[in-house]
């Protein structure tokens, strides 16, 4: 089923972020410094193109560029050994606990997630308010707690901004879930996603 929800908000950091009514969002947050300088520069250049497209073209054309940025970012994250603090099981567990707490307290519906060595994939709906404020609160809390468990290489835990897009159909929902499940496999960490310990499939 194709969803055409009403746009409820728009904001722009380095990337444009659209929020929609009853949105299901695929969010990727990575650790500060997880992408080396060359990769970060390439992503900045692509982001500038997205901003130009967002100003002059349709949302659909911007979406194509956003997907290009996502692929570039994922390629860097999956092969980078820069800042892999989420390999620390205690740090990964506190991130998972923070996600589960927001589900239990009826703030989020989470359809799937995976905590990777240097980033987090999260497919969710926010039950109250916008996407921006709850994610900022999540990053603040988990970053503070991570700093109490381990030294933060860059003085920060998470990168300032995140990548997000909203799912437009049931078919996209299924693709996003499969992508999240297969990310540990595609990154060469396990041969079967069920063996990855830091995913929503581990109950």
In a domain, 160, yes or no: yes
The answer as to whether 69 is a domain residue is no
**Separation between Cα atoms, residue 203 and residue 201, nearest integer Å:** 6
Q: Is residue 73 part of a domain?
A: no
List beta partners, residue 114: 121, 199
What CA–CA distances, in Å, run from 32 to 59, 136, 158, 166, 170?
28, 14, 5, 24, 32
11, two tokens: 């904001």
Q: What's the pLDDT score for residue 142?
A: 97
CB 28 within 8 Å of CB 163:
yes
CATH number at residue 106: 3.30.70.1290
Residue 40 lies in a domain: no
Q: What is the mean pLDDT of residues 116-123?
A: 94
DSSP code, position 99: H
Predicted TM-score (pTM) of the model is 0.81
- The pLDDT assigned to 177 comes to 97
User: What residue numbers bound the domain in which 121 lies?
Assistant: 24-33+84-195
Please report which confidence band the pLDDT of residue 183 belongs to, taking 50, 70 and 90 as the band edges.
very high
Sign of the torsion angle spanned by Cα atoms 108, 135, 15, 74: negative
Q: Is residue 184 part of a domain?
A: yes
pLDDT of residue 71: 75
Asked if the model's pLDDT at residue 80 lies above 70, the reply is no
Q: Is residue 155 part of a domain?
A: yes
Instruction: Give the position of tokens 């967002």.
Output: 54
Count up the domains in the chain and report the number: 1
Percent residues over pLDDT 70 in the chain:
72
**Percentage with pLDDT > 90 across the chain:** 47
Say if 158 falls within a structural domain: yes
Return the minimum-mean-pLDDT range out of 15-19, 39-43, 59-63, 126-130.
Answer: 59-63
CA distances (Å), 19 to each of 9, 182, 183, in order? 5, 26, 25
pLDDT above 90 for 163: no
């Amino acid at each position: 089923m194709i969803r055409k929800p009403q746009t409820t908000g728009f904001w722009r950091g380095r990337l444009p972020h659209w929020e929609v009514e009853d949105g299901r969002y695929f969010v990727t947050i990575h650790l500060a410094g997880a992408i080396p300088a060359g990769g970060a520069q390439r992503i900045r250049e692509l982001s500038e193109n997205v901003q130009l497209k967002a100003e002059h073209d349709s949302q659909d054309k911007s979406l194509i560029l956003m997907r290009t940025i996502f692929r570039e970012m994922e390629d860097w994250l999956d092969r980078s050994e820069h800042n892999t603090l989420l390999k620390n099981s205690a740090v990964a567990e506190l991130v998972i606990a923070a996600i589960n707490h927001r589900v239990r307290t009826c703030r989020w519906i989470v359809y799937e997630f995976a905590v990777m060595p240097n980033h987090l994939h999260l497919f969710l709906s926010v039950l109250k308010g916008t996407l921006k404020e709850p994610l900022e609160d999540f990053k603040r809390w988990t970053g503070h707690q991570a700093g109490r468990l381990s030294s933060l290489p860059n003085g920060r835990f998470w990168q300032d901004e995140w990548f997000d897009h909203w799912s437009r159909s049931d078919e996209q929902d299924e693709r996003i879930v499969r992508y999240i499940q297969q990310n540990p496999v595609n990154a060469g960490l396990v041969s079967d996603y069920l063996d990855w310990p830091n995913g929503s499939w581990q109950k």
